[in-house]
Amino acid sequence: MADEAIAAGRSAPTTTTENHELSRRRIGVAHIVFFVVAASSPLTVAAGGLPLSYATTGVVGIPVIYLVLATVLALFSGGYAAMSRHISNAGAFYAYVAQGLGRIPGVGASFVALVAYNAMQTGLYGLFGFAAAGVITAELGVDIPWWVASLAALLLIAFLGYRRIDLNARVLAVLLICESIIVVVFDASQVASAPAGLTMDAFSWSALTTGAVGAGFCWVMASFMGFESGAIYSEECRDPRRTVGRATYIAVGVIGVFYAFTAWAMGIGAGTGRVIDQAGEHGPDLLFVLGSDAMGPTFGRIGAVFLVTAVFAALLSFHNAVARYFFSLGREGVLPRGLGRTHPRHGSPYVGSVTQTLIAAVVLFVFAIVGDDPTETLFNWFTNLGALGVILLLVITSVSVIGFFLRDPRGENGWGRIVAPSLAALALAVILVLAIINFHALLGTPPDSMLNWLIPSLVLIAGIIGLGYGWWIKENRSDTYHRIGQGTSAPTPLP
């Protein structure tokens, strides 16, 4: 019966009350692309990321930066895809680092990942609450606190996270298609109207080098967050040896080209010589202002509604990623074993899902009491913390790919084993340094603000605690130590 169910593409029913395996063969390339692109959220980038990147950096050549970073991340994807053909583990970065650099560094990476992805997911509740409360007030005339809207989203996401992965994929597909249509319509309207005419000046060298280019790379890098999450679903996809790599390449290409075009279209609509001033004046409303000028006020109203659903899609995507990290670490005993339990019917990492929900609820409670602007504090602080952590993980993972294949090439070519990950590690390390140096530009704080070093230090602290905990496991829990990074596979010799 179980074999027949698997052959038909369904998960075999489970009769035990405790299960430690995710549902199998539920999703394919398209589903993972939906998860990945939804995390980066096209409409959120277009409405928030692009205007802020223009306004805070003064760089007209933002479209060029998207293409440059897409190239860098394609290099990263070369090694990432090669490693995904040999490792199938919901822990993704954690498993790759453990099998590439050693078990103790793997635990260190897992702690950075937990902090980064929890911060990204939780921080988005600030933006969601602000946007949703604004729409409700504008359309219904009902004034509600931002945290009420955020709490409603949290409960719905908790329900979806408890259910099957393919249900989540279908929800994300619908939301992502809707927000992408809005962005495409906006792009077309700006190109069609083009008050100053069509020009490719934004792709010139002078456009790229004028302004705070380092901060521009940091802002644009944040737009790609989530592109790497395909490997998290490797245990649930139909063909992990091919699906993860293909989905990652597709996601990087789609995000890079789509966002570069949107950045160019926004510059065309505002006027290449005026887009910096326009972005500074209107901020996140720039997309709706330009869209309404070209198509009428209805676009602004519809766009505001779909911005809410776009942020919800990103919340759901990051929630699923965090739940699977908890599951992977619990299954291997690095964290309490209960986190490694999956639902007997849905095959979802429901304990990890509930844990992530509780963490987010606590943070929402604290920020609701404090009463600060949720976009300037909760959203801005937490998402930038998360982005910095993910960049660090990308650097470490690139080095891990090299270490993994040095011990055994496993039939992979030199490009995927050595060249691509080496180039990616160097380029991403430069971006990491730029992000740290320009962190005040990301936060919008004065250069001497305590937050500029306090928030980045949390990533470092998480990694150090993880390394110390990994060493403690080695000295005191040998059985657990040998399971680190192995997933459902038998323990193998690692550094």
Q: What is the pLDDT of residues 107-133, one digit of tens each?
A: 999 999 999 999 999 999 998 998 899
* Per-residue tokens: 102: 């050693």
Q: What is the pLDDT of residues 214-247, one digit of tens each?
A: 888 888 888 887 777 777 777 776 776 777 778 8
Query: Can you give the pLDDT at residue 262?
Result: 94
The full length of the chain comes to 495
Distance CA 122, CA 362 (A): 10
Query: Can you give the pLDDT at residue 12?
Result: 41
Q: Which residues pair with 342 in a beta bridge?
A: 19
Distance CA 146, CA 127 (A): 9
Contact assessment for residue 31 and residue 166, using Cβ atoms and an 8 Å cutoff: yes
Query: Can you give the pLDDT at residue 428?
Result: 93
DSSP for 79-95, written as a single string: HHHHHHTT---TTTHHH
Distance CA 374, CA 383 (A): 12
Query: Can you give the pLDDT at residue 3?
Result: 40
Query: Can you give the pLDDT at residue 118?
Result: 92
- 419 secondary structure, DSSP code: I
Cα angle for residues 435, 118, 162 (degrees, 5° grid)? 150
- 27 secondary structure, DSSP code: B
The amino acid at 111: F
Q: Is 160 helix (H, G, I), strand (E, B) or coil?
A: helix
Query: Can you give the pLDDT at residue 16?
Result: 39
CA distances from 178 to 167, 255, 310, 312 (A): 17, 16, 8, 12
* Per-residue tokens: 433: 């340094």
* DSSP run (H or E) holding 54: helix 50-57
Beta strands in 307-465 (DSSP E): none
Radius of gyration for the alpha carbons in the chain, expressed in angstroms and rounded? 22
Residue among 120, 479, 149, 89 at smallest CA distance from 307: 149
Q: Which domains does the chain have, with CATH numbers?
A: 19-483 (1.20.1740.10)
Query: Can you give the pLDDT at residue 202?
Result: 87
- Residues 6+ positions from 495 with CB-CB distance below 8 Å: 101, 102, 103, 403
* Per-residue tokens: 68: 């440059």
Chunked into runs of 10 residues, the chain (495 residues) has average pLDDT values of 39 44 63 76 86 86 92 90 80 86 94 92 91 89 91 92 71 83 92 83 85 82 78 71 80 90 92 86 86 89 88 87 88 88 76 92 92 82 89 93 91 89 94 88 83 92 95 93 74 52
